[in-house]
Structure formats: structure tokens, C-alpha cells
């Protein structure tokens, strides 16, 4: 067992000769200040037991008492060493460390994403990061494996890695929470069942974020059904700004840009102003009315309206299914890329005239979309982590009718999870299975 | 089928209205100049049939006639669009496109590596790249899946993607060849058998590189047994500089740095001058005599000689096996990171006083290591793709004895593949199984 000698029961007590200790730029505290172990956490918050049956509505769950946070955090291996960025010539100009929590950290999407975060590709070459990895009891060994691979990657910017299975520990002081973990749909399970089972997870994680995360944490929900999971999450985190919660529709946006580029015979960097409206489901609306190619409205470049109206959306939505057929696995790599894109869109200024899509909380939206749901809309950012909705969009009957359909679905999903948002009895009447092909 | 409409049998004939065409910064040629299809290649070079039995030595294989290369290259999807980097304000300062060929492109290591290459993490933010992906007939659909995920990732620097199963097509004009693909070891197969079966692949790929690659192509062999595969490859490419061939020992170097950091209780960026000597196998020698921690010789920092001599190497070597146990899969992510590190070490100047390890051709080496094998040694680069061996290293009896052991193994492996290097009859007397745990 490679790491046996750093468990607390076998403390490493080696000390440096005094004549050597003074030569070190970074003092070696040998874990005086931080616990160093890879033990599984001792405590797990009790599972939330509820179902969507209206007669089994659950009482709101009280947030767990935030106990001594420092004690509960479990650092991993080489990331338990102390360091002083300001004392080192190479790192003294760096920004302050930021905490990034990732759930589903032992899964395939994370296996791509974590290395992108650690490399500096997302937050830049002078932004040191701490990764807080949330897994499950079942995945804990895999989580250790991921942390070991992060150790072996020697990323200078990756300064801390913690692993755990309790969101109240792992989300401590998180400035970003990337919520990827979700239960896959079991055999015969309908969207309503998935909403319930995953809704419980996101209710718990919302409460944990509310209790222990940074007061300005940005939350990106990837686990499906991501819009309504994000709604559940923000409803369970009343002390955090609802505006900070996002549901990932960036992969849909990227795929839509690619399909328009393919049809127009241009490179994909020529496609801009692409909005995904609504739900991350088959009711989603990739908007070809407002999108542009080389700055020109798509409909003037691609004059094949039949293709735009009948094939384009289907192509975007079927992409995941085609990929599973071809590759035998779901599209973890490009999903991770789209998460990177979504984060970077919030921390870098949006290019003039352009925008990006994100599933955000509808609170005073300028379009007339129902309030109090999480709906993908066009956003612009000054690069400070915040965003504004874009006003300069147009609608036609075709677009608006489709927006109303995805809105209706999200309102139905919301009724379906009322027991998880503290809004009374759940009532589930989802008419059809709208899961995107290739997603679980 | 998402891409059906771009196959040659259904050419897209849409043209732009003339009033619009002039508005486009990048002219839309609609594939006039380049073929656009996702058809499997029509031709495959015949498999090389031979075995290691001395009485079945194969005659040297004549390189395939380089037919019309342009015709044989198969571009993929959106990467078939024409573009003019110089015509676009955003890209006109960029460098010239480079061709990067990757074998085993549908595998897990590539699934991490390709996205790193495309993101700019490896070659920088102003270096556009073309990816030439080599797969097999069996993996061709998966290869299409990978190319589709690259499309959906919208990386601005990734300008061309070609997929194919014939190295004579895929390696055309390659400036880098990252040879990851290799057959895994079958049940009961010994290292000798693996050497033969994979040696044939690398002999074929060497001939293909010799015939069609850039005359200064840099070749990085990852597929195991990588040192001897690299030797076979360079022997089959007599027109290319032998110095340009590398066998990847960087993951071993990275793991060794991490283990020293863990033992010393320092962050891994404090460990430098780490050499892996010899073979990428259990005879490899992670060199703690010349390595430094905070600029001080390791042996002065870690005074536990027993640990250094008896545990350290084992920890480095067992890492892959522990990872498989924990994570259930081999360490694709950190292997891809180490390939990135290996490339970057050749294209950026080595920090003063430091070095990196690479398995390179022993031709006039200053250490007295046997000539004419591929042996991991300490290298320094000016960042021009080339390297020099480091002279300022010391040896003691312990280190030298171990170097001689890994040298003996590589000489035995060389005798074992003589039929593939054009050096007569193979004679195989490998004494033991020295595959690294967790590798195939």
C-alpha cells in the first residue's frame, strides 16, 4: 500500500538536521499544522429518505451543525505538506488560493475536468487552486486513485487536495462548486423517478453549501436533470445568492455551434450568439434566429429553413446518443471541456457583441419567461464571476412556441419536486421521457 | 447518422448568395480544395507476419510506395472546412500549423492527451495544430467518436483532424508522432511475446515515418515495451535522425519526484534533477544519488538510506499497480500529463541546473552505457525540440550496478527483436517478467 506510512497511526516523525532546515526556502512543518491522512471520513450525514408520492412530503431538513471545519478536512498525501507561496520567487506573484469543490469526483467527467483545473487551463497560470473532491462510500477507493494521479501529475498550481464523502466537509469555504455527481437512471426509471432520487442529493448538497461554502460560491450543476437539480439546490441554500447557481447547457451550445458550422461549411469559430433556451432535455431550444455566422444572422447564411427547423435541433440533441454508439461511452471529455468553457465565460469578459448560454434562475428576466425556475438563457459577463441577461434578442412565433414548451416542462418538473424545495406537496405529471439521448 | 450528409456520395452543394459571400472574412470554398468524408480508408498496408523464432527471420520490408499523399488523407467533419489564419484578425499573429500524429488515438491515454494538445496547453496559445489520428479497423468507430468530441469542443487552435488506420497516410508530414497504440499483453503472454507482437507494429510505423513524415519528426514511443519499441522504430526509419526518437519514462520520473517529496515532507516542486536510468520496466533506476530537494542532494535531506535503497524504487514502480487496484483502470490521465511534460521539456528551455529524463538512443553517450540501445538518461534542451545529455552526474557502486542490470535487460531485449531491426537472427533469453505493475 503506497501511502501506508502517512496514516495517522504511523506518523512520520523524521526531522531535519538543524543545519539543513535553515536552507529550505519553504519551512518543513511536517504536518504540525494540518492533518494528513487518507482515512475515510468518520461521519456521514444521514441519507434523506423521501419519495415523490404526495402523501410522503418530507419536512424541511435542518442544516447540519457546522462543527469544527478544520478538523474534518482530510488532506491527501503530498498535498498535506505546508507551503508558503509568498516565500518562493516562482510563486510570490500568484493570486490567493481558491477552493474548488467537485462532486462525482471519481467519475469520468471529473477525470477529465480535474486535470484541466489543476493545469491552469481554467483559472490561469497564476491562480493556485485547492481541489475538494466529493465521492461516495462506494467510490472512495477510486477517489484515492484520482488523488494519487493528481499527485503524480506534479501540477505546480495544485496546492491542496482533499477527498471526502460528506458535503458538509468537502464544501467548506468552496468558492466554486461543480456538482457533477448524480445517480444514473436505473432500468425502467422514468424522469420523475430520477428527479426524485437525484433531487434528494442536490437538496442535501444545497443545504451543505448553505452551511459551509463561501458566501459568494458559484455553483455549476451538471448532474441530470440539471435545471431542476439546480433549482432544488438553490432553494435549499437560501443564504446564498440564487443568481450564483447555474445548470450546464454549454455542451448543447457547443454542439449547436458545431452543427451550424458544419452546415454552413465554416470553421466553428465563426459561429456566435448561440443561445440554448430552457431545459437541458429534448425540449431545449437551440436558437438559430439570434445566432450568427461571421456576424450575419444564421438564417441569411443557411437558407435551408427546413434543415434549420427540422434537422438542426435533432442533430444537436442526438449527438450524445451517436457518440455512445461510436465510442461506447458517454462524452466525458467534451462535457468536461464545456464545463471549462462555462467557468471561463464567467471569469473572463464576454467578447463585445457575443454571449453564452447558461441555465440560470429566472428572477425578473426581460423575456417574459416564467419566474422561479432555472432556465437556460443568453448571458454576458464582465469576467467577475457574475453575469447579466442579454436584452438584444428577438423572438418569432416559431421560437416563442418552443420556448413555451420547454418552460412548461420545467414548471412541471418544479411541481414534481415541491417536496424538495419546501413548496408543499409534490405533484408529478411529466407527460413524456425527455432525457437527451446518451445521457443518464 | 449525424454526419451522413457530408460523405462524398452526398456532396453538399449549397452555395452562398453572391451578396453574402463577399462579407465573409474567410472564403467558403465548400470543399473544393480538400476531400471531406468520414469513410474508412480504402487501403491498409499488409500486416507484417513474423515471429521471434530464429528460423523464421523476416526479410527487411520495403517501404510502401508513397502514393499521392493528398488523396489519401481523410479529413473529419468540421475540420474539412478551409480557413486562412492570416486573413483573420484574431489569428494572423499565429505560428504556422504543425502536424501531430497520434497512434492508439481511440484509447484512454489519447482521450486525455488529444484534448490537451487541442487546448494549447502543450504547444502554446498561438500554435495552431493538426491532429492526425491513427486507429485500427476494430477501433475505427471509436476514432470517429473521438473526432466528434474534438469537433464539439470548439478549440480555436485545432484546425485539422484526420483519422485513419494506415500509418503511411496518417503520418504524412508529421512533425510529432506520439506512438501510444500497442497491443495489450494477452493471457499467459511473456515479455518476449509482447516484444514480438508490438515490435511488428513499431517496425511498420518506423517504415511509415521514414517514408512520409517530416524529415525532422520527433517521435515519442509510449506503447510498451517502449524502449525496445523505440529502438525498432528508429532502426526501421534510417533516413530520420535516431536522436529524434524517445521512449517515455516521464511518468516514472514524475512518480519518483512525488515519492521523494512525500518522504521529505515537501511539495513536489522542490524536487529536481530526477533521472530515470534505463528501461521502462522493473529494472529501471530512479536515481536518488543525483536528485535534489530544494537544491540539496536527496541523500542529505532523506537520511533514511534503507528507505532510499529498498523502498523508494519499489514505490515508484508499484504506483501503477496500486492505481489499478484503487481506480479499477490504468492511469491514463497521469500518463497523458507525463507525455505533455515530455513534449514541453523539448520545446521549452530546461531551467538552469535542472534536467529531465527521456529514453533516447545511446550513441556516444558520456556515461559508458552500451551503445545502440534506447536508454533513459538525463537530458537538457534549449527548447528547439532537440536535447543534449547531461554530463554533470555522479555514480556510485550501488547506482552503477543497477544501471548495468537495466542495460543488460535492454541488450537482451535487443537480441530478442533482431529480426525486426534488420540485425539478423533473433535470440530471446529474457530471464524474468519485468513488466511494470499496472501496465500491459
Residue B253: asked if its preceding bond is cis (omega within 30°), the reply is no
Q: Does A261 touch chain B (CB under 8 A)?
A: yes
List chain A residues with CB under 8 Å of B294: 23-26
Closest chain B C-alpha to A369 CA, distance in angstroms: 29
Q: How far apart are CA A314 and CA A114, in angstroms?
A: 31
Which of A63-67, B185-189, B380-384 has maximum average pLDDT? B380-384
Q: How far apart are CA A134 and CA A157, in angstroms?
A: 20
Q: Decide: helix, strand or coil at residue A345.
A: helix
pLDDT of B237 higher than 60: yes
Q: How far apart are CA A97 and CA B283, in angstroms?
A: 40
Question: Looking at domain B73-247, what is its CATH homologous superfamily?
Answer: NAD(P)-binding Rossmann-like Domain (3.40.50.720)
Residue B187 pLDDT grade (very low, low, confident, very high; cuts 50, 70, 90): confident
CB–CB of A17 and B303 under 8 A?
A: yes
Positions of CATH 3.40.50.720 in chain B: 73-247
The alpha carbon torsion through A141, A142, A145, A149 (nearest 10 deg) reads -160
Grid coordinates in use for A207?
A: 443545504
Residue B440: what pLDDT? 61
Q: Does A301 touch chain B (CB under 8 A)?
A: yes
Other beta carbons within 10 angstroms of residue A73's beta carbon come to 20
Residue A192: what pLDDT? 85
What pLDDT, in 10s, does the model give residues A177-214? 999 999 887 787 888 888 999 999 999 999 999 999 99
Alpha-carbon dihedral sign for residues B47, B52, B58, B62:
positive
In chain B, which among 87-146 make CB contacts under 8 A with chain A? Answer: 90, 106, 111-112, 115-116, 119, 121, 141-142, 144-146
Average pLDDT of span B105-130: 97
pLDDT of A25 higher than 60: no
What pLDDT, in 10s, does the model give residues A360-386? 999 999 999 999 999 999 999 999 999
Least confident segment among B20-24, B70-74, B268-272, B428-432? B20-24
Between the alpha carbon of residue A402 and those of residues A167, A277, B142, the distances in Å are 37, 9, 34
Q: How far apart are CA B291 and CA B282, in angstroms?
A: 20
What pLDDT, in 10s, does the model give residues B341-377? 999 999 999 999 999 999 999 999 999 999 999 999 9
Residue B191 pLDDT grade (very low, low, confident, very high; cuts 50, 70, 90): confident
Q: How far apart are CA A260 and CA A301, in angstroms?
A: 10
Residue A28 pLDDT grade (very low, low, confident, very high; cuts 50, 70, 90): very low
Phi, psi of B258 (to 5 degrees): -65, -40
How many residue contacts between A and B have a Cβ separation below 8 Å? 215
CB–CB of A6 and B266 under 8 A?
A: no
Is residue A180 within 8 A of residue A219, CB to CB? The reply is: no
Q: How far apart are CA B163 and CA B142, in angstroms?
A: 11
Q: What is the ipTM of this complex?
A: 0.85
Q: Does A244 touch chain B (CB under 8 A)?
A: no
Interstrand relation of B292-293 and B296-297 (parallel, antiparallel or unpaired): antiparallel
List chain A residues with CB under 8 Å of B351: none
Adjacent-strand bridge partners of B297:
B292
Residue B213 pLDDT grade (very low, low, confident, very high; cuts 50, 70, 90): very high
Q: Does B268 touch chain A (CB under 8 A)?
A: yes
Instruction: Dump the DSSP string for B207-230.
Output: HHHHHHS-TT-EEEE-SSSHHHHH
Residue A184: what pLDDT? 83
pLDDT of A230 higher than 80: yes
List chain B residues with CB under 8 Å of A116: 119
CB–CB of B149 and A258 under 8 A?
A: no
Burial class (CB in 10 A: 0-12, 13-18, 19+), B359: buried
Is residue A330 within 8 A of residue A439, CB to CB? The reply is: yes
The C-alpha R_g of chain A, in whole angstroms, comes to 23
Q: Which residues contact A302 (CB under 8 A, 6 or more apart)?
A: A260, A263, A264, A288, A293, A308, B14
Is residue B150 within 8 A of residue B158, CB to CB? The reply is: yes
Average pLDDT of span B25-43: 34
List chain B residues with CB under 8 Å of A251: 152
What pLDDT, in 10s, does the model give residues B409-422? 999 999 999 999 99
Q: How far apart are CA B320 and CA B316, in angstroms?
A: 8
Positions of CATH 3.90.110.10 in chain B: 250-421
Q: What is the DSSP letter of B104?
A: S
What pLDDT, in 10s, does the model give residues B8-17? 333 333 333 3
Is residue A317 within 8 A of residue A280, CB to CB? The reply is: no
The alpha carbon torsion through B76, B82, B84, B87 (nearest 10 deg) reads -130
Q: How far apart are CA A78 and CA A136, in angstroms?
A: 22
> Which of A153, A155, A301, A340 is best to mutate for the B interface (most B CBs within 10 A)?
A153
If you count DSSP H runs as helices and E runs as strands, how many of each does chain B have, helices first? 14, 14
Say whether domain B250-421 belongs to CATH 3.40.605.10: no
What pLDDT, in 10s, does the model give residues A239-260? 999 999 999 999 999 999 999 9
Q: Does A21 touch chain B (CB under 8 A)?
A: no
Other beta carbons within 10 angstroms of residue B140's beta carbon come to 18
Q: What is the DSSP letter of B349?
A: P
Is residue B374 within 8 A of residue B230, CB to CB? The reply is: yes
- The catalytic site residues of A sit at 280
Phi, psi of B110 (to 5 degrees): -65, -35
Grid coordinates in use for B107?
A: 484509447
Between the alpha carbon of residue B201 and those of residues B106, B163, B221, B420, the distances in Å are 16, 18, 12, 10
Share of chain A above pLDDT 70, in %: 83
Q: How far apart are CA B107 and CA B96, in angstroms?
A: 28
Which is nearest to A43 in space by CA: A63, A73, A18?
Answer: A73
Which is nearest to A270 in space by CA: B19, B94, B124, B91?
Answer: B91
Other beta carbons within 10 angstroms of residue A84's beta carbon come to 11
Q: Does A267 touch chain B (CB under 8 A)?
A: yes
CB–CB of B115 and A119 under 8 A?
A: no
Q: How far apart are CA A39 and CA A44, in angstroms?
A: 13
Q: Does B333 touch chain A (CB under 8 A)?
A: yes
Is residue A293 within 8 A of residue A264, CB to CB? The reply is: yes
Q: How far apart are CA B80 and CA B162, in angstroms?
A: 9
Residue A40: what pLDDT? 39
Average pLDDT of span A127-134: 98
pLDDT of B319 higher than 80: yes
Residue B70 pLDDT grade (very low, low, confident, very high; cuts 50, 70, 90): very low
Which is nearest to B200 in space by CA: B83, B36, B414, B49?
Answer: B49
Which of B10, B246, B280, B419 is labelled catalytic?
B280
Q: How far apart are CA B440 and CA B438, in angstroms?
A: 7
* E-assigned strand segments in B268-416: 271-272, 275-277, 285-287, 292-293, 296-297, 356-361, 374-380, 388-389
Name which residue leads in pLDDT, B69 or A358: A358
Between the alpha carbon of residue B61 and those of residues B70, B168, B237, B310, the distances in Å are 24, 14, 11, 45
CB–CB of A318 and B2 under 8 A?
A: yes
Is residue A222 within 8 A of residue A179, CB to CB? The reply is: yes
Q: How far apart are CA A152 and CA B252, in angstroms?
A: 9
Grid coordinates in use for B301?
A: 535531506
What pLDDT, in 10s, does the model give residues B216-234? 999 999 999 999 999 999 9
Q: How far apart are CA B82 and CA A265, in angstroms?
A: 8
Average pLDDT of span B306-333: 93
Residue B22: what pLDDT? 38
Our answer to whether residue B419 is catalytic in this structure is no
Other beta carbons within 10 angstroms of residue B25's beta carbon come to 14
Average pLDDT of span A332-346: 98
Residue B434: what pLDDT? 87
Residue of A25, A257, A265 with shortest CB distance to B28: A265
Amino acid at each position: 500500500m503506497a501511502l501506508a506510512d502517512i496514516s495517522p497511526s504511523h506518523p512520520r516523525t523524521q526531522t531535519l538536521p538543524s543545519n539543513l532546515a535553515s536552507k529550505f526556502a519553504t519551512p518543513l512543518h511536517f504536518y504540525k499544522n494540518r492533518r494528513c491522512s487518507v482515512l475515510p471520513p468518520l461521519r456521514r450525514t444521514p441519507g434523506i429518505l423521501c419519495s415523490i408520492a404526495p402523501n410522503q412530503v418530507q419536512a424541511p431538513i435542518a442544516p447540519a451543525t457546522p462543527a469544527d471545519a478544520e478538523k474534518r478536512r482530510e488532506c491527501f498525501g503530498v498535498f498535506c505538506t505546508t507551503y508558503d507561496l509568498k516565500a518562493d520567487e516562482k510563486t510570490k506573484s500568484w493570486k490567493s488560493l481558491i477552493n474548488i469543490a467537485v462532486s462525482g469526483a471519481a467519475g469520468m467527467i471529473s477525470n477529465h475536468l480535474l486535470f484541466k483545473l489543476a493545469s491552469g487551463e481554467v483559472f490561469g497560470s497564476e491562480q493556485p487552486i485547492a481541489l475538494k473532491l466529493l465521492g461516495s462510500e462506494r467510490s472512495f477507493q477510486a477517489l484515492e486513485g484520482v488523488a494519487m494521479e493528481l499527485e503524480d501529475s506534479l501540477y505546480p498550481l495544485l496546492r491542496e487536495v482533499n477527498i471526502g464523502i460528506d458535503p458538509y466537509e468537502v464544501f467548506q469555504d468552496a468558492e466554486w462548486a461543480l456538482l457533477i455527481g448524480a445517480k444514473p437512471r436505473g432500468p425502467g426509471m422514468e424522469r420523475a423517478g430520477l428527479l426524485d432520487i437525484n433531487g434528494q442529493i442536490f437538496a442535501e448538497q444545497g443545504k451543505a453549501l448553505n452551511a459551509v461554502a463561501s458566501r459568494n460560491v458559484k455553483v455549476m450543476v451538471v448532474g441530470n436533470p440539471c435545471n431542476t437539480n439546480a433549482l432544488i439546490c438553490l432553494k435549499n441554500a437560501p443564504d446564498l445568492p440564487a443568481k450564483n447557481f447555474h445548470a450546464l447547457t454549454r455542451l448543447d451550445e457547443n454542439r449547436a455551434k458545431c452543427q451550424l458550422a458544419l452546415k454552413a461549411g465554416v470553421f466553428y469559430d465563426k459561429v456566435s450568439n448561440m443561445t440554448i433556451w430552457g431545459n437541458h432535455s429534448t425540449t431545449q431550444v437551440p436558437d438559430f434566429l439570434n445566432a450568427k455566422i461571421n456576424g450575419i444572422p444564421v438564417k441569411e447564411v443557411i437558407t435551408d429553413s427546413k434543415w434549420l427547423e427540422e434537422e438542426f435541433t435533432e442533430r444537436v440533441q442526438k449527438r450524445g446518443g451517436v457518440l455512445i454508439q461510436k465510442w461506447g461511452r458517454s462524452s466525458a471529455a467534451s462535457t468536461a471541456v464545456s464545463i471549462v468553457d462555462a467557468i471561463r465565460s464567467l471569469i473572463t469578459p464576454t467578447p463585445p457583441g457575443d454571449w453564452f448560454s447558461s441555465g440560470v434562475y429566472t428572477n425578473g428576466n426581460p423575456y417574459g419567461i416564467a419566474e422561479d425556475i432555472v432556465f437556460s438563457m443568453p448571458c454576458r459577463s464582465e469576467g467577475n464571476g457574475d453575469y447579466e441577461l442579454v436584452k438584444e434578442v428577438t423572438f418569432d412565433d416559431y421560437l416563442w412556441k418552443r420556448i413555451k414548451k420547454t418552460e412548461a416542462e420545467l414548471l412541471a418538473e418544479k411541481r414534481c419536486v415541491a417536496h424538495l424545495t419546501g413548496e408543499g406537496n409534490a405533484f408529478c405529471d411529466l407527460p413524456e421521457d425527455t432525457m437527451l439521448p446518451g445521457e443518464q
